[in-house]
Chain A
Amino acid sequence: MCEPTLVLADDHPLLLKGLESSLLSKGFKVLGTAADGSAALKLITEHRPCMAILDIEMPYMDGLSVAKFCKEKGYDTKFIILSYHKETEFIARARSLNLSGYLLKEDALDEIEACIHKVCNGEQYYSSAFQMKEVTSAQTALDRLENLTPSERKILKLIAKPMSTREIADTLFISERTVEKHRSNIIQKLDLTGRSNGLTTWVLHNKHLLN
């Protein structure tokens, strides 16, 4: 078991206090807490903790910016975002910054321990509420389906009608090329590469899933 050193930052004192006491009670080593972004950055720069658990919405500097700054500086510190927000763009940003974790505050007490441990082991932990299933790990058809974007799912529905690429393009007022692009993305996400007419067959078999 690793014993990570932690820095916590949240502008809501109640939550910060609750989180700190909860982590302390679980035996984690909290080096410091900060109520705004710049204080958090200062703490991280000073203590170089193993992990920093940051809120996004903080005065002076938001958590994502603090994390980005430290990453650019080459700090070893791993970052976990602890946020009230569920917006996909935040999560996408966290991923693009290669942050180690993203937790929703409402699930914090439940998941924080598991998250810290995972991150400690060099893995990533994204809140179960929006965790994307890896293609390889998605075993069932339904799981795979969930990996598709809304647009892809809509095209899939049209394929199931069934409609030709041309017909889909006409219906959606998009070019055939765009439809083809979506098709190939869908084929990849559903792991249907290399099979001729694979998608059409898959759709016919799993029509019931596309409500």
Chain B
Amino acid sequence: MRFYLAKIALLIFLIPNPAFGQGVGHVSAQIDSLKMELSTATDSLEVADLCYALYRKYTFEIKSENSEMPDYLFRALRIYENSTEYGKLADVYNALAGFHYNRNLLEKAREYWTKSNLNYQKSGNDLQVAKSFNNLSLAYDYKDSLKLTYILKAIDISIAISDSTILGSAYNNLSAYYKVNEDYEKAEAYLIRSIKTAENIGKITTQQAGYFDLGLLKKTRGQSSEAIAYIEKSLTFNAIRSTDPNVMGAYEALVELYEARGDYDRAFYFQKQLMNTKDTLFNAQVNQRLLSLTSALEIEKSERTIDAQQSRIDLFEKENQLKNQRFIFFGVGFVVICIMVYLWKSRQFTRKRARLQEGFAQSLIKNVEQERKRISSELHDSVGQHLILLKNQAKVRGTDEMVETVGATLEEVRSITQDLHPVVLGRLGLTAALEEMLEKLDESSEVFFDREVENIDQLFSDDDALNIYRIIQEALNNLIKHAQAASARFQVKRLENKVLITLQDNGKGFAVEEKRLMSQSLGLKTLFERAEMLKARFNILSGQEGTRLTLELNISNRV
């Protein structure tokens, strides 16, 4: 039942401006020219008009729902929405509502028809207002009181403006409403009124639908001969109307009616008619269904495209954000890594260079020591021995003067060899060597030495011992030369696993770091270099109250 009504409704809103009888080829040429116009149109309203015109061409003249249709409609809609063309806007809404209604999207259809209705009201086109009320009623269920309200509104307006264009259709709707609610008297009365109204204005479709529905109503009420008469009457319109959406229903009803009467010949005839029509109509239906499905798909697609575009925009934005974040993250990360690598490399380079320098300085010190030792023993072995012989000979055969001179020379050589390399260190060990050195300084200088030396022999390798000796020697020399100290305290303490050597004076002190950085102060540099070689903790504290030098040597890891 619904199906047929739907078809009627569809026809109602399709009908506004019928232009039949023109060739499809002619129409497609018109469409092409419209498209051309559209492509060059600059005024927005003109664009909208062209869009709507194109839609109409497709819908009413080619009668196929082209996939571009929704595009044209929406395009027109957007333009009209921002204009005062309420009538045109209402037309577009109307078209959209029909679109949705045909696809059983009732809610959307209601929305668009309501909008259409409101805009027709604005534009002051009462006929269209009535029409849209009638259409709107279609989108409501029979049990919904709004359906009846809207139908009645459509009827009232039509009567008020004395325009019965849609009045027949509205009466038909009203009849259907009463039929569903089983008020058959009213249903019949309104159907008759519908047919009469349609006849007055020569509206075939409404007449045909009216007779068909009247037949069905009679059939429902058990008045079979009247039913047959009305339905057969409805079929007579087929010759005039190219497509009758109710033809199959009519055949089916007739088959049943004749069968019930026992008139099998007629029943068989209509059954055959039904089969034939079914074949052709079925195909047509299938095709139309297919088409409508396709276009439904298109609509959905376009809606989805909009959604998808929106979400794509969102997504894109998010992606962009993410990309940016990632870019920033990776960028910053990369820069950080670069900096780290650079720092690491340069640190390694400096370290390597420092190591190289250190190694160079240390091997230089070692070589110098070796060389000094070599020269020292060379002097001792050659010059020294010869001078010894010479002195002994002079004592026997020479003069006192000669003895004295040779003695003095020998003394000089001795002091040179001693300076070059401390022989006591090699022979008696570090403790004795340090004692020896301090005793000499005590004797030769005005500085009062308070010393406390514990035995640290056998704790260090020869090289280490020599370095310790040299450090103390250099420190003591500096003390005597520069400190202007009255007294000094020298301590060598042997602790459980380390040796602590301290030298403290009450002199004027000096700026350690300044001196150390000055390239001239080779002695101080060498001091630190030797401490480094010893892997000792070496510290010089200097101030106005004197200088304190500490040398802390680990002995647990030494041989």
Contacts and interface: CB of A to CB of B under 8 A. Distances in A.
A84 B392 CA distance: 13
A151 B389 contact: no
A33 B431 CA distance: 32
A151 B450 contact: yes
A171 B428 contact: no
B388 A173 contact: no
Interface string B397-439: 0000000001100100010001000011001100011011001
Interface residues of B, number: 38
B456 interface: no
Nearest to A129: B407
B489 A15 contact: no
Given A110-B395, A150-B443, A154-B448, A18 B427 contact: no
A72 interface: no
Contact of B433 (A84, A89, A106, A151): A89
A114 interface: no
B509 interface: no
Contacts of A178: 450
Given A14-B385, A93-B428, A106-B410, A85 B450 contact: no
A12 interface: yes
B385 A15 contact: yes
B381 A12 contact: yes
B439 A15 contact: no
A173 B392 contact: no
Contacts, number: 93
Contact of B436 (A89, A150, A173, A174): A89
B389 A172 contact: no
A150 B442 contact: yes
A92 B433 CA distance: 12
Interface in A132-182: 149-151, 154-155, 171-174, 178
B424 A106 contact: no
Nearest to A65: B427
B486 interface: yes
Given A57-B427, A62-B427, A172 B388 contact: no
A89 B429 CA distance: 10
Interface of B: 380-381, 384-385, 387-389, 391-392, 395-396, 406-407, 410, 414, 418, 423-424, 427-428, 432-433, 435-436, 439-440, 442-443, 446, 448-450, 486-487, 489, 504, 506, 546
Interface of A: 12, 14-15, 18, 56-57, 62, 64, 84-90, 92-93, 105-110, 149-151, 154-155, 171-174, 178
